[in-house]
Amino acid sequence: MDRHLAQLPDAAASRVKLCLTGCNATTNPLCDVSTTPVGSGTINPTFGPPLPLIAQGVPVCVINRYQGPPSGMVNVQTGEVSDANPIAIDLFSDVHLTLNAQVCPRCKTGGSPAFGASGTCDGGPNLGKACTVDSVLTVVQAQGNPLYALSGGCPPDPGQLAGTLNLKLRFTTGTATLSGPTPCTEGQDNPTAAPLMDDNCGDGTCTAGACTGNACVSHAADGTCIDAKGGLSQACCSTQTNLPCFTTKGGGSITRTGNADPPVPAWPDTTYPKTSSNGRLVTTFCEAPTEKAVINNTAGLPGPGALILPVTQTLLKSSE
């Protein structure tokens, strides 16, 4: 099964390829996610291409590496990934401190960049080498050209590595929740950790739908704000509406709801490939601090995170 992840807080047009076993085309639609090759030279070298971000004025280029093969279960009849058997993806996120003028190296093409286009890397250790565009993102706060054509073949300079996050993501088409107050405490005793708090709103409150400015540069189809980094801003501080926050203070929760989209032609129809384009995987998770105070203070680590991944999926039979 090939999941093509689009419009997400990770690089758009990222792909995750999963090998499914234990099911069949006619009698059993519940599949195990089996040992799927990950790492350099495999079908999943990294979890998407490099990701350029500018958070509180600090430019970083993030490489998400698999810690090991994904696991979990997928129902190819309903498109469901249950809360009980989520798709588990553990990542090391390498955070590189970079420059506002080159947040990540680009895959430069001869014309307007597009997914799948060929080009050459304009920086990093692979400067001048051939690359293929894996994603095109706009980095609103970047200096110069804000359009970034990204490629797994154009990583940042290893010498810019500032720290590595340990992320354990559990994706479901159901509901993912973290309950407050301060739901994430791992590593709070680290001397480089940021102060442990539910939000940075001061005397204000974290209010759903209150976002403006860089926290709401555009809108998703359902009206939710998209921030300058490309993620979703569902709530912001009432006294500083350009500052996104999580609603965990006072025992509130972070809740994200997915959507199971049955692939068509519907199983057990023998026609393949089967496709769907309205799925949604969600996860909530905790992030421990790194050894770099600048990263922890910028990101508020230790602290919670949430992802909503709109999904287009393609199911292929093993013989194809």
For 219, the token pair is 């809108």
Q: Which residue has the tokens 């009698």?
A: 27
Which pLDDT score, from 0 to 100, does residue 5 have?
Answer: 23
Instruction: Give the mean pLDDT of 219-223.
Output: 87
Cβ-Cβ contacts under 8 Å for 154 (sequence gap 6 or more):
49, 50, 104, 105, 106, 107, 121, 122, 123, 124, 126, 129, 131
Report pLDDT digits (tens) over 110-152. 888 888 999 999 999 999 999 999 999 889 889 999 999 999 9
Task: Give the separation between CA 50 and CA 46, rounded to whole angstroms.
Answer: 9
**Residue 12 banded pLDDT, cuts 50, 70, 90:** low
User: At residue 6, what are phi and psi to the nearest 5 degrees?
Assistant: -125, 150
Checking if the pLDDT of 1 tops 50, the result is no
pTM score above 0.95: no
Domain boundaries, the chain: 1-98+156-183+254-320, 99-152
Instruction: Give the mean pLDDT of 65-80.
Output: 96
* pLDDT mean across residues, the chain: 90
Task: Give the separation between CA 49 and CA 65, rounded to whole angstroms.
Answer: 10
User: At residue 213, what are phi and psi to the nearest 5 degrees?
Assistant: 60, -140
Report pLDDT digits (tens) over 43-72. 899 999 999 998 878 899 999 999 999 999
Report pLDDT digits (tens) over 261-296. 999 999 999 999 999 999 999 999 999 998 889 889
